[in-house]
Structure 1
Amino acid sequence: MWRIEFSADKFLPILPEQCQTNPGAYGFELALWLAQRLLARGIVTSYPQGEDWGWFIEHTDADETEIQIGCASVASEGDGYANRAIEWSIFVKPYTSLRERLKGVTHAAKVEHVGRAILESLAAEGIPARHAPD
């Protein structure tokens, strides 16, 4: 799994707090932006889907490897409406079947490819981000 962290005001929520998955759990705007930027790099994803902790998109490659890309804020209720940068966390995690796990398959190269595409997309927007080891 890859984790990417950064601070920015670019992805603040558009809709009110009650439209978020939970208070302070922002990330729809980031997930939608990522889906568009990854598509421009040839990485097709799903539309954003909500979870208790934020939002995610999924990518399935030609080999049918599934990768989940989670987007979440590190914020408290209301932080997204203060017009200031908040902390963001993105994770890139493969779905690995039991059979693959038993065979030692990790999909590490595919996860790294997607993670680097995300870092490059953020850098192209002037947003410094870092790969945070797990």
Structure 2
Amino acid sequence: MDGYRFTSPLFRVEAGEDLATNPGIYGKQLAHWLGERLAREGYDQPVVIAEDWGWCVQCAAQPVPVWVGCANDEDSEEGAAMPDHRRVWRCFAVVEPGLLARLFGGAVVKEQTLRIRTALERVLAGEPLISFVDEA
């Protein structure tokens, strides 16, 4: 899965936020922050929802569904006790074409994939308080 891993003091774990996901899975503040910035990148009213794996920023439904996943990347047993500035976060972009788009909309899928990946990289790289982490 393509994506970005980073640390940042910008995002904190909110008490009880993992009740909406799974124990030890966080990222609510990151997802809301990212949704606001993706709106500035031209995505109209991104919506943040909880998933069992983390937090989803729904960016577009047309012409194909586009979303960004956000979650912490460390062992969930470390949980909320980890200092926020040391927590590793992960974001990844997803374009989910339906059957017709897969069969006939290859150009649209490529265009939307490039658009969300470019926007995500621009937002994350443009924030001085984000430090990217190499894959282990």
The verdict on a shared fold, with TM-score over 0.5 as the criterion, is yes
**TM-score where L is the length of structure 1:** 0.79
Q: How many pairs were matched up? A: 131
1: distance between equivalents of 2:4 and 2:41? Answer: 18
**TM-score where L is the length of structure 2:** 0.78
> Cα gap change, 1:129/1:43 in structure 2, threshold over 3 Å: closer, same or farther?
farther
- 1:49 is paired with a residue of what secondary structure? strand
Give yes or no for contact 1:2–1:93 (8 Å, CA) kept in 2: no
1:55-92, Cα deviation, whole Å (9 max, x unpaired): 1011226x522102111111224443432321211111
RMSD of aligned alpha carbons: 2.7
Structure 2 residue runs of 5 or longer lacking an equivalent are none
Q: Which has the higher strand share?
A: 1
State percent identity of aligned pairs: 29
* Structure-2 residue corresponding to 1:120: 122
2:110 to 108, 111, 130: 108
Task: Name the structure, 1 or 2, with higher relative contact order (CA <8 Å, separation 6+).
Answer: 1
Structure 1 residue runs of 5 or longer lacking an equivalent are none
**Amino acid aligned to 1:64:** P
Displaced runs of 4 or more, over 6 A: none
1: distance between equivalents of 2:42 and 2:105? Answer: 27
